[in-house]
């Protein structure tokens, strides 16, 4: 409970420094979250945000702990029927991160940088989060379920690296 309160207090403090979105200009691009996340993270997955998790399982490392550059995949729920993806830009504590994402809340079609996200799951596994919401200058009241994080290194590359390491060490793991 203390960890949750500390995380919430830290998030509230950090949120004060979040960049507020500027008015939308007609000559600026309209960003979708998936297009932005794909370009910003280098994770080459296509389709609605909620499909990213299943697509990633055989192609990329996935997990429940944030890494800078990884993509947090939100489950579809309520008005967010197609899910959402956001790129981790900074890890502040084990329960507080910052993300850069597009097309969220009061910033339709815009990119928001370094938005505070807090893990509010009971198991400290990032399965439920709250996101900073600029219009109220606080964490939003909605708890969003997530699948977890997709890391920007391919499974094949990791496995190839492991095999090379085993070959170089004669399979012992020691040089």
- Any domain includes 102: yes
pLDDT digits (tens, 9 = 90+) for 11-47: 444 443 444 444 545 567 899 999 999 999 999 999 9
| pTM greater than 0.85 (yes/no) | no
For residue 77, the SS3 value is strand
Domain with 72 in it: what CATH number? Answer: 3.90.1720.10
- Any domain includes 173: no
Q: What is the pLDDT of residue 97?
A: 98
163 confidence band (pLDDT: 50, 70, 90): low
Range of the domain at 129: 2-168
pLDDT digits (tens, 9 = 90+) for 42-74: 999 999 999 999 999 989 999 999 999 999 999
CA atoms of 88 and 159, how far apart (whole Å): 24
Q: Which two tokens stand for residue 162?
A: 């492991």
**If 0-12 CB within 10 Å is exposed, 13-18 middle and 19+ buried, where does residue 142 land?**
middle
Q: Which two tokens stand for residue 91?
A: 């890890």
- Any domain includes 134: yes
- Any domain includes 86: yes
Per-residue pLDDT for 2 more than 90?
no
- Any domain includes 174: no
| DSSP 8-state assignment for residue 80 | B
State the total domains in the chain.
1
90's CB contacts (< 8 A; 6+ apart) are: 68, 97, 98, 114
């Amino acid at each position: 409970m203390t960890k949750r309160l500390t995380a919430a207090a830290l998030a509230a403090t950090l949120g004060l420094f979040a960049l507020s979105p500027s008015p939308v200009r007609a000559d600026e691009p309209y960003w979708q979250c998936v297009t932005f996340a794909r370009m910003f993270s280098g994770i080459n997955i296509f389709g609605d945000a909620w499909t990213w998790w299943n697509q990633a399982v055989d192609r990329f490392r996935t997990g429940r702990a944030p890494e800078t550059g990884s993509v947090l995949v939100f489950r579809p729920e309520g008005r967010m029927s197609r899910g959402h993806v956001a790129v981790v830009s900074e890890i502040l504590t084990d329960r507080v991160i910052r993300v850069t994402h597009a097309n969220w809340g009061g910033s339709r079609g815009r990119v928001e940088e370094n938005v505070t996200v807090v893990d509010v799951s009971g198991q400290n596994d990032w399965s439920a989060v709250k996101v900073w919401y600029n219009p109220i200058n606080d964490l939003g009241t909605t708890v969003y379920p997530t699948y977890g994080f997709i890391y920007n290194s391919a499974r094949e590359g990791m496995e190839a690296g492991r095999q090379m390491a085993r070959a170089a060490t004669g399979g012992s793991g020691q040089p």
